[in-house]
């Protein structure tokens, strides 16, 4: 968390808002069908919730660190928080404009009308009353408060509530809106040509007099409180300084409030009352629209079933080798096989694990699970492998944010079946996406590896753009075997020569690769760095990229999320050009390509250039050694670099301008072009 006025680096939390701005842009981009634009509003809202729970929470915690420590670390949490609030307010205003001025009218034009309580019709009244009495009322937990007495009010994280005021100003009430039990949206009629939908909120608002029959209701205002997720401290605060920070926060209570989102129509005197009740500061109060939790729009119904309102289906493409293969081991032994999600199905991975579980020659399966899906073919096959007497080692990341409970639950299930289950170490996360299968073939022990950029999760594989390779290359599989021995505690270091493994060698090897390009540029040789990642934060890597730019190395980057590097600044980064693609799928892959004077070196894997990925997590970055696969990866990378439909330029001013398409130039929407490229390659 560098100083906000450091003109060599952007502040990560402020630049993250530029990423969410790109998501908001997608909600207003008419290239996207209506219901997909609604989903982008939901994504924006969901992103912002997590941001306040984690990043803004950390800033708030830093404000409580002793001033002497803050000064030493150049922390300015109050200043940054104010800048964040300012930007978020502006984005939320535009969010409201998009929803009210674009989405609502377009829904109406398609025969879908969202009604509020003021526009319910007489024919709705009986249905509304019955729905409230039979479906909603039993889930309500009204809390009535007398402001003349001492009160304690606890609001759950991200749960919607109504704050209700009465004519008797000494009393207020809080009522939950039971979305989990009743759903957020209610279809009011069955007319094929004209559909009326309302929020659950509006039915409760309409029937609120039943909750407090003896009171005169004065006002009803929706509120939502965000609480922090956990104590997160940036990885750059190492050793003694980190311990000082932790000790200075020892009195912190879990789940402290980070933001109260409230209806902007709430009178100021009512705002003061709720602030006092929840013990919030002014900076914690965030005015919003009439409704909150727009992430619920992921489930907004389409009663018309109009395909034009949604993205065109892109069926998963068959893999030209694996689709027909009856023995993956034989085909992988011949040559490396690559997969690209979501253009190809995750079922190839599941099928490989199933084959291994049922194969008499397979003796061991080792896998690292960062985000475990609910019951899936993969987890079922791992269970089957245990039943069939295989040695199964599962490394479960117990600290995968918001997935802790599910991951630990699966760990216990594997343990009960006899698996060797290892949980994460203190202060180290295992973020690598790796699997190793050992097979006894005659008198020879063969190893088969899977290394990917995305999680072993069939659900996320349908929306995340990721890459993976199956390989039997002994240079890779031997080193992966050593890494699993490190995870099991049998070795201290993996002694790798081909793989880049964090925290052991990744930073050092990337530094060597960048310096090699710098030296080549200075010697007049071919020099270029092309890198695709989710986020760029590490200052040492950024300083090296500035050095490379100064030496004349052309640096071309694709960064989907935030970046602390400031590109295109004369005398600093004029040879660095960055674009970002936000589209139908979430770009999640990491690919690194170094010119190396014409003898290109390519790597891919799980690590971004962030402090945590280089120094505080077990990550695996693998060289792409198979020439066919290397060409496929490079072709895909070049398509992404050529995007002129969904690519935004990350410039010094953070304008998020779309890449301008030149006159006569072909439209390249990279995710669709990649689909067509893979379709031609694997089905022709």
- Would you please indicate which residues are annotated as catalytic (active-site) residues? 431
413-450 burial, b for 16+ CB within 10 Å, e for fewer? bbeeeebebbebeeebbbbbbbbbbbbeeeeeebbbbb
User: Could you identify the residue written with the tokens 């002129």?
Assistant: 644
- Give CA–CA dist 160/470, Å, rounded: 46
Q: How many CB atoms lie within 10 A of CB 107?
A: 21
User: Could you identify the residue written with the tokens 């025969």?
Assistant: 111
Report how far Cα 5 is from the mean position of its chain's Cα atoms.
Answer: 28
Residue (of 555, 40, 485, 100) closest to 298 by Cα position = 40
- Give CA–CA dist 386/380, Å, rounded: 10
CA-angle at 139, arms to 165 and 44, nearest 5°: 75
Report whether 106 contacts 41 (CB < 8 A). Answer: no
Instruction: Check the annotation: does 556 bind a ligand.
Output: no
Burial class (CB within 10 angstroms; exposed 0-12, middle 13-18, buried 19+) of 195: buried
Query: DSSP secondary structure string, 158-188?
Result: T-EEEEEEESSTTEEEEEE--HHHH-SEEE-
3-state SS assignment for residue 431:
coil
Report whether 262 contacts 291 (CB < 8 A). Answer: no
Instruction: Check the annotation: does 371 bind a ligand.
Output: yes
Residue (of 442, 444, 446, 388) closest to 417 by Cα position = 388
Instruction: Check the annotation: does 340 bind a ligand.
Output: no
Instruction: Spell out the residues 6+ positions from residue 308 whose beta carbon is closer than 8 angstroms to its own.
Output: 33
Token output for 115: 């009604």
Instruction: Check the annotation: does 464 bind a ligand.
Output: yes
3-state SS assignment for residue 25:
helix
Token output for 134: 């039979």
Instruction: Check the annotation: does 47 bind a ligand.
Output: yes
Query: Residues 399, 531, 477, 683: what is their CA dihedral angle, to the nearest 10 degrees?
Result: 110
- Give CA–CA dist 624/328, Å, rounded: 19
3-state SS assignment for residue 504:
coil
Binding residues for ATP: 47, 464, 560, 588
Residue positions in the annotated binding site for Mg(2+)? Answer: 371, 401
Q: Which residues are annotated as a binding site?
A: 47, 371, 401, 464, 560, 588
């Amino acid at each position: 968390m560098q100083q906000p006025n450091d003109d060599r680096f952007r502040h990560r939390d402020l630049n993250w808002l530029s990423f969410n701005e790109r998501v908001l842009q997608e909600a207003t981009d008419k290239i996207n069908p209506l219901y997909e634009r609604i989903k982008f509003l939901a994504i924006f809202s969901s992103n912002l919730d997590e941001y306040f729970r984690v990043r803004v929470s950390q800033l708030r915690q830093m404000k409580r660190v002793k001033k002497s420590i803050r000064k030493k670390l150049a922390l300015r949490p109050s200043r940054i928080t104010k800048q964040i609030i300012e930007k978020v307010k502006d984005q939320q205003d535009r969010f409201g404009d998009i929803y009210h001025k674009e989405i609502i009218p377009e829904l109406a034009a398609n025969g879908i009308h969202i009604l509020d309580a003021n526009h319910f019709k007489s024919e709705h009244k009986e249905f509304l009353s019955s729905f409230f009495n039979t479906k909603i009322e039993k889930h309500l937990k009204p809390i009535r408060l007398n402001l003349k007495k001492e009160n304690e009010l606890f609001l759950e994280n991200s749960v919607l509530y109504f704050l209700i005021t009465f004519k008797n100003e000494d009393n207020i009430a809080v009522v939950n809106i039971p979305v989990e039990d009743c759903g957020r949206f209610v279809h009011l009629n069955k007319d094929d040509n004209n559909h009326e939908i309302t929020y659950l909120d509006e039915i409760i608002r309409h029937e609120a007099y039943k909750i407090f029959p003896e009171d005169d209701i004065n006002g009803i205002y929706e509120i939502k409180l965000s609480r922090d997720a956990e104590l997160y401290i940036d990885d750059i605060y190492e050793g003694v300084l980190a311990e000082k920070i932790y000790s200075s926060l020892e009195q912190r209570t879990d789940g402290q409030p980070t933001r109260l989102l409230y209806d902007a129509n709430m009178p100021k005197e009512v705002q003061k009352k709720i602030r006092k009740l929840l013990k919030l500061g002014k900076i914690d109060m965030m005015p919003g629209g009439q409704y909150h939790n727009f992430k619920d729009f992921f489930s907004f119904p389409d009663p018309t079933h109009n395909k034009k309102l949604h993205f065109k289906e892109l069926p998963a493409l068959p893999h030209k080798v694996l689709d027909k293969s009856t023995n993956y081991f034989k085909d992988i032994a011949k040559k490396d096989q690559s997969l690209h999600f979501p253009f190809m199905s995750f079922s190839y991975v599941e099928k490989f694990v199933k084959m291994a579980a049922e194969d008499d020659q397979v003796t061991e399966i080792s896998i690292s699970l960062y985000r475990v899906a609910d019951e899936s073919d993969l987890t079922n096959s791992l269970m089957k492998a245990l039943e069939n007497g295989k040695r199964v080692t599962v490394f479960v990341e117990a600290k995968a944010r918001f997935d802790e409970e599910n991951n630990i639950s699966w760990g216990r299930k594997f343990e009960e079946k006899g698996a060797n289950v290892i949980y994460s170490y203190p202060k180290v996360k295992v973020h690598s996406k790796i699997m190793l299968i050992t097979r006894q073939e005659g008198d020879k022990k063969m190893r088969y590896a899977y290394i990917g950029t995305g999680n072993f999760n069939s659900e996320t594989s349908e929306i995340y753009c990721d890459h993976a390779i199956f390989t039997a290359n002994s240079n890779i599989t031997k080193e992966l075997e050593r890494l699993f021995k490190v995870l099991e505690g049998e070795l201290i270091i993996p002694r790798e020569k081909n793989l880049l493994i964090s925290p052991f060698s990744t930073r050092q090897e990337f530094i060597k690769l960048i310096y090699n390009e710098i030296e080549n540029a200075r010697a007049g040789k071919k020099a270029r760095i092309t890198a695709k990642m989710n986020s760029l934060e590490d200052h040492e890597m950024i300083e090296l990229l500035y050095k490379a730019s100064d030496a004349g190395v052309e640096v071309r980057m694709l960064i989907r999320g935030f970046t602390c590097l400031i590109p295109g600044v004369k005398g600093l980064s004029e040879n660095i050009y960055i674009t970002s693609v936000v589209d139908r799928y979430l770009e999640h892959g990491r690919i690194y390509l170094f010119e190396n004077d014409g003898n290109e070196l390519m790597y891919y894997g799980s690590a971004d250039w962030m402090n945590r990925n280089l120094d505080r997590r077990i990550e695996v970055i693998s060289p792409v050694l198979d020439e066919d696969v290397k060409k496929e990866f490079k072709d895909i990378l070049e398509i992404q670099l050529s995007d002129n439909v969904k690519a935004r330029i990350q410039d010094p001013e953070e304008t998020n301008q779309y890449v301008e398409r030149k006159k006569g130039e072909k439209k390249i929407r990279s995710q669709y072009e990649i689909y067509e490229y893979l379709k031609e390659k694997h089905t022709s």
